[in-house]
Amino acid sequence: MRLAGLISNTKSTLVHTPAWQRLVVHHNDMQHVHMMDLFDKNPDRFSEFSLQFESMLLDYSKNIITHDTMDHLFYLARKQRVKENRDAMFRGEKINNTEGRAVLHTALRNRSGHPVMVDGKDVMPDVLRVLNKMQAFTDKVRSGEWKGYSGKAITDVVNIGIGGSDLGPNMVCRALTPYADRLKVHFVSNVDGTQIENRLMHLNPETTLFIVASKTFTTQETITNANTTRKWFLAHADTTEKDIARHFVAISTNSDAVRKFGIDVANMFEFWDWVGGRYSLWSAIGLSIALYVGMDRFIELLEGAEAMDKHFQNEPFDTNIPVILAMIGIWYGNFFGAESSAILPYDHHLRLLPAYLEQADMESNGKSVDRDGNHTTYSTGKVIWGTEGINGQHAFYQLLHQGTRLIPTDFIASIRSHSCLEEHCNILAANFIAQTEALMRGRNMKETRLQLRNAGVELDEIEKHLPHMTFYGNQPSNSIVLEQLTPRSLGSMLAMYEHKIFVQGVIWNLNSYDQWGVELGKKLARNILDEIEEGRSMYQHDSSTEGLLHWFLEKREN
């Protein structure tokens, strides 16, 4: 069946398809297999289950898989028409069926500029026009040619945005800090006034540029922060309304709202409804990145992503990194019952990657209704979480090593660190590699007993300690190793995750590009805000919500 641009193959009957059932049977054979036995049987396992993409290595050999597993998974991918759906996305078909939109973040990094049509119009001239505008603007600001109201050059940039208009550029800026040369870039997202107050306190209005980043330009948090900032700016004795033009720019799809806010549309960087918020860092939403590291680096980021786009489009499934990662994720989520998956970057510059991927993955595939409006009868998006290594080792890895749940992990590391402290780099690398080994290998009773005996522990003590010091292991991991974290390798890795999420959405027959689930809370918050402002309850609530509201109002009065 063909549905608004995406080829649907299921009506929530996915679990009854022969492809799915093959995996059910195969899982019966695999569920008690220990990875250590797979390695013992096959000395070539690392080379057979690893791939190189440019300078990036993916080692997926530490998974509970065999070649048969992968064949069954690829069969499912073929049956769910991953290829056909992928091509529909790249062609600009309206695969976001609930909003009637194309999904074309890939067009933003289409560096060859080949036409990409939406509603009979090639979108590429607009994409290139905005990139040129970004180039001209960033050059001016970075060179000091763009002056603030008092004639001084800009030293600080503040991106005011939330969700997709914050997480992506913030994460990339942190990741590319070693490439930053001139400007300081800050991010304000939360409506909690503490964040904006603390930020403004340290800024000089004469030398600060504010980017109001909002696709819709109606997001309450962003507009509230932007209004507060505007007031702060105008409260300085020597500023006037006309100075706003030198200190506020907007990134949006909504020029009317930008104009209403008081920002000259000449200072607006445009993007389009076919760019989803969480996929928008490649668009003008990346302006803060371009200001921070320069437009050339921003283009390298796009080029890295484009290289992964081509890999995803052209490689057969068995050498296609996003497809492999997606299908391994399906294997654990749908057949082993894994509830979550951890992202563990062993690179301080990637410390915001887990938060970014939480949104990218969970907002895309956290759905229980499929594209056709049927309730799914299978699990969909996993809980994505994590933190930077090594810190996590001293915090939650205990549960990975000895807890009761299967938690597949992605370890991400870079070989050549941007730090020149060699001793630190070596310790970090050793821990990354050792953790993947320990999670898989575990330690059986025999080894534990021997170790305790060698340490001189008394026999009866040994038996007491044995169960606590034994690890079953068999916790799967992927290792994604970059030669170095560069704009290009980062771009490729992020596009890899985007396509992984896409493939999983296709397998589950989801629309990965809407997010209706976040609407309800926003609507209810508007009602409750009315009540808080009025100081009384005005709408029907349950007793808990009513109780909380009254408690808040009473305590506030006190």
Known catalytic residues are 363, 394, 522
Contact 365, 380 (CB under 8 A): yes
Quote the least distance from Cβ 99 to ligand G6Q, whole Å. 11
- 547, 482, 497: which is closest to 349 by C-alpha? 482
Q: Which two tokens stand for residue 461?
A: 């003590």
Sheet containing strand 184-188, strands side by side: 184-188, 156-160, 208-213, 248-252, 268-270
Q: What is the 3-state secondary structure (H, E, C) of 396-454?
A: CHHHHHHCCCCCCEEEEEECCCCCCCHHHHHHHHHHHHHHHHHHHHCECHHHHHHHHHH
Quote the least distance from Cβ 502 to ligand G6Q, whole Å. 14
Secondary structure of residue 129 in the 3-state scheme: helix
Contact 356, 168 (CB under 8 A): yes
- DSSP character for 54? T
Contact 303, 488 (CB under 8 A): yes
- DSSP character for 458? -
**115 vs 517, which CB is nearer to ligand G6Q?**
517
d(CA 314, CA 503): 15
d(CA 284, CA 109): 12
d(CA 207, CA 337): 53
- 360, 311, 252, 319: which is closest to 109 by C-alpha? 311
Q: Is 81 exposed, middle or buried (0-12, 13-18, 19+ CB in 10 A)?
A: middle
Quote the least distance from Cβ 191 to ligand G6Q, whole Å. 12
**157 vs 481, which CB is nearer to ligand G6Q?**
157
**142 vs 278, which CB is nearer to ligand G6Q?**
278
Quote the least distance from Cβ 164 to ligand G6Q, whole Å. 3
Strand runs (DSSP E) across 161-273, as ranges? 184-188, 208-213, 248-252, 268-270
**405 vs 522, which CB is nearer to ligand G6Q?**
522
Residue nearest to ligand G6Q (CB): 163
- 109, 85, 108: which is closest to 323 by C-alpha? 85
Applying CB under 6 A, the residues found at the interface with ligand G6Q are 162-165, 214-216, 219, 222, 276-278, 363, 515
Which residue is it, tokens 């509201």?
Answer: 549
**276 vs 389, which CB is nearer to ligand G6Q?**
276
Secondary structure of residue 477 in the 3-state scheme: strand
Quote the least distance from Cβ 371 to ligand G6Q, whole Å. 18
- 422, 474, 423: which is closest to 444 by C-alpha? 474
d(CA 17, CA 78): 12
**110 vs 165, which CB is nearer to ligand G6Q?**
165
Quote the least distance from Cβ 518 to ligand G6Q, whole Å. 7
| DSSP labels, 241-296 | GGGHHHHEEEEES-HHHHHHHT--GGGEEE--TTS-GGG-TTTGGGHHHHHHH-HH
**167 vs 503, which CB is nearer to ligand G6Q?**
167
Q: Is 177 exposed, middle or buried (0-12, 13-18, 19+ CB in 10 A)?
A: middle
Q: Which two tokens stand for residue 441?
A: 């290998």
Quote the least distance from Cβ 361 to ligand G6Q, whole Å. 12
**270 vs 363, which CB is nearer to ligand G6Q?**
363
Residues 6+ positions from 370 with CB-CB distance below 8 Å: 10, 11, 12, 376, 508, 509, 510
Quote the least distance from Cβ 307 to ligand G6Q, whole Å. 24
Quote the least distance from Cβ 218 to ligand G6Q, whole Å. 7
**10 vs 214, which CB is nearer to ligand G6Q?**
214
**165 vs 448, which CB is nearer to ligand G6Q?**
165
Bond from prior residue into 390 cis (ω within 30 degrees of 0): yes
Quote the least distance from Cβ 222 to ligand G6Q, whole Å. 5
